[in-house]
Amino acid sequence: MTPGTALDQKSSKQLLTIQYLRGVASVMVVLHHIRNPWPNLYNPLEHFDMGEAGVDIFFIISGVVMYVSSRVETPAVFAGLRVIRVAPLYWILTLCAATLLLLSGGAKPGFALVNDVMLSAMFVPHHSSVFPGTIWPVLNPGWTLYFEMFFYLIFAIGLFFRKPLLISLCLISFLVGLGLFVSTDESIFHAYSHPLLMYTHPLMLEFAAGIVLGWLFLNGKNPNVWLLLPIGFLALIAAHIVRLPYLFLQNGLCAALIMLGAVAAERSFRIRDIGWLRLLGDASYSIYLTHALTLFVVRRLFLRLPLEGMVQFASFAVLAATISLLVGFAVYFKVERPLTRWLRSQFLTVFAAARRGAGRPLREAPSPVSVAQSAGE
């Protein structure tokens, strides 16, 4: 039997609102990319990009999950489980993306592509040769993993000094403060002279907000403001209709309101366990990573159909969303879940044996709650 950690223990309570929001966020991102402007594809929602805030929700969820489930973990176990949780599926799909680019003529074989693939696989921000003028990895949605993995590094440093809350907040605040002297452009892809400076972007504050929310929840200090959950979504819709400057900041603020309301709802109500919505949260990481590849193929096939105008857009949106979800679920059940479970079991078994040999037991986290971990958190 595999040794237990905070990530494996069964517990009396699960943060179902966060699990549901994880699924909702993945669907938001899929819909956001479906309405992206593309040549020869009618798009009445080109400027309504509310779905991009799904990433902001993911980042705050990540902070909550890390603090609730891993705040007393050893840095080595934490780092190992994080890599196992995030990297293998991302590596597989990065190779799929590179293959698809080669087959479609979107990239040429050679050192530049190999370099892009290697740096992408190592989560190193770099100027892309495939997508000029951007700091994208080969698999586009993977840009968020640059932030995720850097946040994990910061959190691991906090675990090493046994002050994950304090050190994480201090380091993130310092980096974002430094970023104020680097650039004021809201773009994380075009604003910086060096890719590593993207880590000074205000998006890092969303992980900090999640850590604080996790701390409030565990200590019973979160205010009873569950109404902020629907209010946050309404404010998000309004923000994208009005389109005020620095919309990315409004996305983060609305996401924070949504998450504050969600955490409060866990204390205020007995949240009903809705199987299909929980499953959507489970598969959210696979849906998120695969949807760009799925849309790439579906869009090319769809443009061959003799459709135009609103009929074209509506039929494309329904078909693309449906196939994106089906592919995401298939990858989750056939690849992500069995691969992650096997790798985690192997890692914990080997690590526990090594710890016993050194006379140090594997530390377990006595968390009163659990958060099912998907979508890269």
Give the lowest-confidence range in 9-23, 27-41, 237-251, 322-336.
9-23
What is the CB neighbour count within 10 angstroms for residue 84?
20
Q: pLDDT at residue 194 above 90?
A: no
Looking at the predicted structure, is the pLDDT value of residue 8 above 70?
A: no
Lowest-pLDDT range of 188-202, 284-298, 330-344: 188-202
pLDDT in tens, 233-291: 999 999 888 887 777 788 999 999 999 999 999 888 888 899 999 999 999 999 999 99
Structure tokens at 129: 């040769």
User: Residue range 84-106: average pLDDT?
Assistant: 95
Mean pLDDT calculated for residue range 66-77: 92
Residue 352 structure tokens: 């526990």
Residue 311 binned pLDDT confidence (cut-offs 50, 70, 90): confident
In the block, residue with structure tokens 């176990």: 77
- 240 CB burial (10 A radius; 0-12, 13-18, 19+): buried
Most confident option among 37-46, 116-125, 131-140, 353-362: 116-125
Answer whether 53's CB lies under 8 Å from 29's CB: no
* Whether residue 190 has pLDDT greater than 80: no
pLDDT at 55: 96
Please state, rounded to an integer, the average pLDDT across all residues of the chain. 86
Listed in sequence order, the residues at least 6 apart from 200 whose beta carbon sits closer than 8 Å to its beta carbon are: 175, 176, 178, 179, 182
pLDDT of residue 10: 32
CA dist 205 and 236 (Å) reads: 18
Q: How far apart are CA 368 and CA 351, in angstroms?
A: 24
pLDDT at 124: 93
For 90-113, what is the mean pLDDT? 93
Query: In terms of C-beta distances under 8 Å and separation of at least 24 residues, what long-range contacts does 116-122 make, across chains too?
Result: 120/94, 121/87, 121/90, 121/91, 121/94
Q: How confident is the model at residue 376 (pLDDT cuts 50, 70, 90)?
A: very low
Which ranges constitute the DSSP H helices of 164-304? 164-179, 204-218, 228-242, 247-268, 275-282, 284-302
Mean pLDDT of 51-58: 95
Q: How far is CA 55 from CA 141, 233, 292, in A?
A: 10, 14, 14
What's the token pair of residue 151? 């946040």
Phi and psi at residue 38, to the nearest 5°: -135, 145
pLDDT reported for residue 6 = 35
- Convert 205-226 to b/e letters by CB count within 10 Å (16 or more is b): bbbbbbbbbbbbbbeeebeeeb
What are the beta bridge partners of residue 41? 38
Q: CA 77, CA 145: separation in Å to the nearest integer?
A: 19
Burial of 193 (0-12, 13-18, 19+ CB in 10 A): exposed
For residue 96, name the pLDDT band (cuts at 50, 70, 90).
very high
What was the pLDDT predicted at 366?
Answer: 43
Question: According to the model, what pLDDT value does residue 267 have?
Answer: 80
